[in-house]
Amino acid sequence: MMAQLGITNRANFNRTIRKHEAFREAMADCGATEVASTGSRYNDAFSITFSPDPDATYFRVI
């Protein structure tokens, strides 16, 4: 996500994006949680659990 936004400073990204209340609310609204990828000590990826409900709302990640 940092690369997509053009942010190279991880501390700046964490302070201005990841810890921002609007970002956290948007992540919760879409059901995304932060997870550690394989072999990583810290959260560095997002996981979305999709519902088997056919009427559920889904979104496409490009």
Report the number of distinct structural domains present in the chain. Answer: 1
Tell me which residue has tokens 């302070």.
15
Q: What are phi and psi of 2, to 5 degrees?
A: -60, -45
Tell me, what's the pLDDT at 59?
A: 57
Q: What is the largest CA-CA distance in the chain?
A: 40
Tell me, what's the pLDDT at 11?
A: 92
17 assigned to some structural domain: yes
35 assigned to some structural domain: yes
Whether 60 shows a pLDDT value over 90: the answer reads no
Residue 45: HSE in the Cβ half-sphere, 13 Å Cα cutoff:
9
| Whether the Cβ atoms of residue 47 and residue 30 lie closer than 8 Å to each other | no
What pTM did the predictor assign?
0.59
The rounded distance, in Å, linking the Cα atoms of 36 and 25 is 20
54 assigned to some structural domain: no
Instruction: Show the domain range for 28.
Output: 2-48
